[in-house]
Amino acid sequence: MNQTEEGSSCRNAPSYLFGIQKRFNWEHTYVNSCKHWVRNMKRVLITGGAGFLGSHLCDRLIKDGHDVLCVDNFFTGSKTNIAHLIGHPYFELMRHDVTFPLYVEVDWIFNLACPASPIHYQRDPVQTTKTSVHGAINMLGLAKRVKARIFQASTSEVYGDPEMHPQQET
């Protein structure tokens, strides 16, 4: 039974869920006589998905019932961060460098691909720049092609040479 309007006949539906559905344009369905809330699964691309932040985001989105495509070139990411997800029915891993275009069908994109540690990005500053610039351009192009929502992240290096090392993140 689909419920799409506020004031529906389902007494068990928390009223705040209708506001969330309208705000984020989520479709939703009630099952088992309106006892369980289920919203449509999103196909989510996470670049840099084997990194610290990306792997935790993979965990969270899978826990929330989304289908996750984790893309990483393993320049700084680690397979151990996502090893527990291998074989999960809603998880797929792809070794890919975002400096090259990617052709997939997704609803959401989280572009987290970029070395975040000075040790890593100073090892190959040209590749770091390509990842930040070309990677962002490629992910924005993908988002435009498939009409996906995109979250763009970056390294703190965009702020330039700091007065103190290491930089405080507060």
Distance CA 101, CA 22 (A): 33
What are the tens digits of pLDDT across the range 127-149? 888 888 999 999 999 999 999 99
**Structural contact between residues 109 and 149, judged by C-beta atoms closer than 8 angstroms:** yes
Same domain, 105 and 36: no
On whether both 12 and 48 belong to a single domain, the answer is no
Instruction: Indicate the helix (H) or strand (E) that contains 21.
Output: helix 15-24
Q: Is the pTM of this model over 0.85?
A: no
> For residue 134, what are the domain limits?
43-155
Indicate whether 34 pLDDT > 80: no
Q: Report how far residue 75's alpha carbon sits from residue 39's, in angstroms, rounded to the nearest whole number.
A: 35
Confidence of residue 159 (pLDDT cuts 50, 70, 90): low
Q: What's the CA gap between 134 and 70, in Å, rounded?
A: 18
Q: Are residues 75 and 146 in the same domain?
A: yes
Residue 166: inside a domain: no
99 and 26 part of one domain: no
Residue 165 covered by a domain: no
